[in-house]
């Protein structure tokens, strides 16, 4: 591990400004949001701050992977008396913002006024679904492709993690964390590369996505009441480097995990848009990215149109159903709710239910699915 430690120290001291060269993309296909037609979002929830290790086996291995998994963890998910998992899934969707951004992974809090804001700015009815209840602290976890994460060459391998996002909040503030910290976790199997978490962790506030003066990009604009103004075209590009551990011949290694700690209650009045989650192998001995080199903002213009939510939000294998006009038929008994959490129907397996046009959440047992009746 000596070589790894020296790389880390050199990065902190800023001894080189050389950019690392991306060699290999090890991002799961399921994280390519803009090219998804079928979307499985929150696949599994774990009680506590972390996923049970080994992670890949804990989420169900190949059978559950489906080219990528988004896994959440938090103490609230162990409370059987509260429907936190379904509350979260109800507000998670694939949203098409159009323009230079396209489809994004979206989590919208139960009190977010994002639909009103997009109607005001673009005169479109996006109908972005919201969480159906308040949530406590939790984290979202993204995993590198377990089939392509390089760990078998007997040396630490430098990996670049990239996150591109925008955040709307009813009231933007530089003091309000929306993400308490975003960092890589590679300590599965008892191995933690030197400085891994402390070097890469960062907080992200709602105020970072406010409009800036053209001649002074570091100064946020304010409206006539002194409030910050949301800029839907201001996207944070957050990058940092971590490492796969050295392979000592005895350690079993699992995918690199990007952990995003979501701040609550700030999410209740906010919407998070994630354009990109990416993992890449970079050339050995290039200067790692940390600190001031880890963050920048880019203008990526959106152009939302009519419907924001992809028709196939989640594979039918999660909850089988068919839609024929306004009639929906489920293979199992199901309860049907509006996206705001109001129960509208109970469906008997094999018997169609007539629903008005709109967005719904249907549940049976521990499974749930969003559906669109057009």
| pLDDT single digits (tens) 300-318 | 999 997 655 543 343 333 4
Q: What per-residue confidence (pLDDT) applies to 200?
A: 60
Helix (H, G, I), strand (E, B) or coil at 73: strand
What CATH number should be reported for the domain holding residue 111? 2.60.120.260
In b/e form, how buried is each residue of 284-301, taking b as 16+ CB within 10 angstroms? eebbbbbeebbeebeebe
The answer to whether residues 109 and 27 belong to one domain is: yes
Q: Which of 299, 330, 350 is the last residue of a domain?
A: 299
The answer to whether residues 83 and 204 belong to one domain is: yes
The answer to whether residues 130 and 221 belong to one domain is: yes
Q: Which of 268, 299, 330 is the last residue of a domain?
A: 299
Q: How many domains does the chain have?
A: 2
Relative to beta strand 321-324, strand 70-73 is unpaired
The answer to whether residues 140 and 177 belong to one domain is: yes
The answer to whether residues 267 and 164 belong to one domain is: yes
Q: Kindly write down the DSSP assignment for every residue of 323-346, as one continuous string.
A: EETTEEEESS-EEEEETTS-EEEE
| pLDDT single digits (tens) 270-305 | 999 999 999 998 876 667 787 656 789 999 999 997
Q: Is 83 part of a structural domain of the chain?
A: yes
CA–CA gap between residue 362 and residue 322 (Å, rounded): 12
CA distances (Å), 89 to each of 7, 44, 94, 170, 362, in order?
40, 10, 12, 21, 11
Q: Is 114 part of a structural domain of the chain?
A: yes
The answer to whether residues 232 and 333 belong to one domain is: no
CA distances (Å), 28 to each of 144, 145, 317, in order?
6, 5, 20
Domain hosting 326: range is 316-373
The answer to whether residues 196 and 258 belong to one domain is: yes
pTM here?
0.77
The answer to whether residues 98 and 143 belong to one domain is: yes
Helix (H, G, I), strand (E, B) or coil at 292: helix
Positions of the chain with pLDDT lower than 70, given as ranges: 1-22, 37-41, 79-82, 151-155, 187-200, 245-254, 284-286, 291-293, 306-320, 339-341, 365-368
């Amino acid at each position: 591990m000596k070589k790894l430690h020296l790389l880390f120290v050199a990065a902190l001291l800023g001894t080189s400004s050389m950019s690392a060269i991306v060699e290999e993309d090890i991002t799961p296909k399921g994280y390519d949001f803009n090219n998804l037609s079928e979307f499985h979002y929150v696949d599994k929830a774990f009680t506590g701050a972390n996923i049970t290790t080994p992670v890949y086996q804990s989420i169900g291995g190949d059978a559950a992977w489906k080219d990528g998994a988004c896994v959440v963890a938090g103490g609230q998910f162990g409370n059987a008396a509260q429907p936190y998992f379904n509350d979260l899934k109800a507000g998670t969707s694939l949203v098409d913002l159009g323009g230079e951004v396209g489809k994004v992974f979206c989590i919208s809090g139960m009190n977010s006024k994002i639909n009103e804001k997009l109607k005001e700015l673009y005169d479109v009815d996006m109908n972005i679904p919201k969480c159906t209840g308040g949530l406590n602290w939790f984290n979202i976890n993204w995993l590198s492709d377990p089939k392509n994460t390089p760990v078998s060459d007997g040396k630490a391998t430098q990996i670049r993690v990239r996150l591109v996002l925008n955040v709307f909040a009813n009231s933007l503030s530089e003091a309000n964390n929306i993400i308490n910290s975003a960092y890589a976790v590679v300590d599965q199997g008892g191995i933690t590369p030197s400085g891994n978490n402390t070097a890469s962790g960062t907080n992200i506030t709602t105020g970072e996505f406010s409009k800036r003066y053209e001649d002074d990009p570091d100064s946020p604009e304010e409206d006539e009441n002194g409030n910050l103004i949301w800029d839907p075209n201001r996207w944070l590009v957050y990058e940092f480097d971590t490492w796969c551990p050295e392979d000592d011949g005895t350690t079993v290694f699992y995918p690199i995990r990007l952990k995003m700690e979501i701040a609550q209650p700030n999410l209740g009045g906010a919407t998070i848009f994630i354009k990109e989650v990416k993992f890449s192998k970079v050339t050995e001995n290039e200067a790692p990215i940390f600190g001031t080199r880890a963050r920048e903002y880019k203008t990526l213009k959106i152009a939302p149109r009519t419907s924001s939510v992809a028709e196939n939000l989640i594979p039918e294998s999660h909850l089988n159903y068919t839609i024929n006009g306004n009639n929906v038929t489920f293979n199992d008994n199901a309860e049907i709710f509006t996206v705001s959490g109001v129960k509208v129907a109970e469906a008997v397996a094999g018997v169609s239910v007539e629903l008005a046009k709109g967005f719904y959440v249907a549940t049976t047992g521990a499974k749930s699915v969003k559906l669109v009746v057009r």
